[in-house]
């Protein structure tokens, strides 16, 4: 079992490929493919550093701001809010 962190807010789809790789489609319009086989990696080492920097910046920014979709995490209601009806048809809650 492994956790793969991505520099995006949401993952829309995940697909296990026949060669053991994992493809992740994200809300930022990027499909990222992860492989357990280092010898099969076709990416330039500079791109790996770029990805790791982007990942670190994304998580640092989200931790500092403690925000989700422009809202402070502390201001979001808890799960109990989902038991209450919306104020209008089609209302969404976070």
Contact 16, 33 (CB under 8 A): no
CA distances from residue 50 to 3, 35, 44, 57, 78 in whole angstroms, order as listed: 20, 17, 10, 11, 36
Residue 92 lies in a domain: no
**Predicted local confidence at residue 14, as pLDDT:** 95
Q: What is the pLDDT of residues 31-74, one digit of tens each?
A: 988 888 877 666 777 888 888 888 888 876 666 556 666 677 77
Contact 32, 41 (CB under 8 A): no
Residue 87 lies in a domain: no
Residue 55 lies in a domain: yes
- Which range marks the domain in which residue 29 is found? 11-73
Whether the model pTM is above 0.85: no
What is the total count of domains within the chain?
1
Residue 44 lies in a domain: yes
């Amino acid at each position: 079992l492994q956790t793969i962190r991505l520099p995006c807010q949401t993952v829309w789809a995940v697909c296990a490929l026949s060669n053991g790789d994992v493809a992740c489609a994200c809300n930022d319009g990027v499909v990222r493919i992860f492989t357990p086989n280092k010898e099969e990696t076709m990416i330039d080492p500079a791109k790996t550093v770029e990805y790791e920097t982007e990942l670190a910046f994304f998580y640092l920014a989200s931790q500092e701001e403690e925000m989700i979709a422009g809202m402070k995490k502390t201001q979001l209601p808890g799960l109990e809010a989902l038991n209450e009806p919306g104020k209008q048809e089609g209302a969404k809650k976070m």
